[in-house]
């Protein structure tokens, strides 16, 4: 079994280190990842998840976020009547995928486009948590009184 080294990604995917750990776990369980998907880093604050959901209608897909966990579910409506396939290569099964989101990462939007469910993510760090420059001046400093 080959093992991937994600350590270079930890350096460039700041705030997504838990997601990289989840990716490592998914790679260890390759057969369980249905439907296939991609995770892209577009820049430091924008990410995209693309899932191949051919055959699913918009009404059969559900997205929800709870406590930094993105849940994507697909439930196909069963067609009326019995189909008799000579060969069935297109999977018609339901799925549920979970993605752990980094702190301050929000779902910016989702769309179904040519059989791909595209989920856009954006990091929105509150102003009070952003780095700020502290000016060094020649004013007074606080003095500590000892009793």
CATH fold for the domain made of 35-79+87-127:
Immunoglobulin-like (2.60.40)
Is pLDDT of 74 > 80?
A: yes
47-51, 75-79, 96-100: least confidently modelled range: 75-79
When pLDDT is cut at 50, 70 and 90, the band that residue 137 belongs to is: confident
Dist. CA 14–CA 5, nearest whole Å: 16
Q: Quick one: pLDDT at residue 121?
A: 95
- The tokens for 58 are 């918009």
Give the mean model confidence (pLDDT) for residues 126-141. 77
Is pLDDT of 26 > 90?
A: no
The CA-atom distances, in angstroms, between 49 and each of 6, 57, 64 are 18, 18, 14
Side-chain half-sphere exposure of 14, counting CA atoms within 13 A:
5
14-23, 77-86, 118-127: least confidently modelled range: 14-23
What's the pTM?
A: 0.66
Dist. CA 123–CA 108, nearest whole Å: 9
Q: Phi first, then psi: what are they for 92, rounded to 5°?
A: -120, 45
CA-wise closest residue to 37 among 21, 53, 25, 22: 53
């Amino acid at each position: 079994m080959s093992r991937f080294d994600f350590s270079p990604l930890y350096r460039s995917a700041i705030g997504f280190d838990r997601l990289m750990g989840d990716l490592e776990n998914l790679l260890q369980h390759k057969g369980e990842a249905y439907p296939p998907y991609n995770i892209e880093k577009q820049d430091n604050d924008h990410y995209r998840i693309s899932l191949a959901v051919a055959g699913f209608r918009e009404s059969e897909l559900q997205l929800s976020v709870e406590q930094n966990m993105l849940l994507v579910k697909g439930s196909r409506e069963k067609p009326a009547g019995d189909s008799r396939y000579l060969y069935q290569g297109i999977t018609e099964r339901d799925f549920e995928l979970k993605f752990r989101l980094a702190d301050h990462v929000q779902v910016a939007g989702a769309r179904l486009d040519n059989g791909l469910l595209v989920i856009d993510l954006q990091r929105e760090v509150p102003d009070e948590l952003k780095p700020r420059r502290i000016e060094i001046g020649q004013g007074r400093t606080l003095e500590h009184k000892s009793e």
